[in-house]
Structure 1
Amino acid sequence: MDRVTLRGADALPKVGPLELRAAGSGGLAFSVLLGVSSVTSLLTAPTGFRFRLAAVTCAFMAVALPFLLVVQARQRALGVLVRLDSHGVRVGDGPTTPWRDLSGSAA
């Protein structure tokens, strides 16, 4: 027996709704770290090949970072994709489908 059958539903913790959102851009943090290291190597690199390589990397990051920021902002603007709560299931901005309308059998 589990604790629900032994103590009833009151034994379960009270939690809020479950909301699923669009995943963020994981490359953003990596890009910021790469950009900081590129600028550091540009400032400390001696002249020659290492300096040119650091300059190219900084130029690439100057283009890539704003692009990644726009992607991140668009994904956050999507808001909640799926919401599960005591009233039912809601997909996007659509209506909430009550739990009683959901069943395991196909109609």
Structure 2
Amino acid sequence: MSISLHVICPNGHNLRHLGEFVYETGRWLVSEETARQVTRVHIHEKQKLPAYQGGNVISWRADPEGTGRYYFTYRATEDARIPCSGGWGQELAIVRHVEG
């Protein structure tokens, strides 16, 4: 199973540009098991709008402060600009994909 993580980041808030098409998200509260399965990240301005950015996850890391939150590093791709097909929580949605 893989997971697409959809998150709300208005105006690129908490996004870090690391290099050519590579970004790191702010920290998000998900379980470590979920973090391990995230293969795509989609960054949205608002829940009802398609993602304005996102891409393939390169790596993830736990918040060093031990908050149970995770950062995701991804390479931006044009095909990540999609609406969320799952149910939103307050600021994020976890969309599970079954392979096969």
Q: TM class, shorter-chain normalised?
A: under 0.3
**Looking at both structures, which has the greater relative contact order when contacts are Cα pairs under 8 Å and sequence separation is at least 6?**
2
- Which structure has the highest helix share of the two? 1
- Which structure has the highest strand share of the two? 2
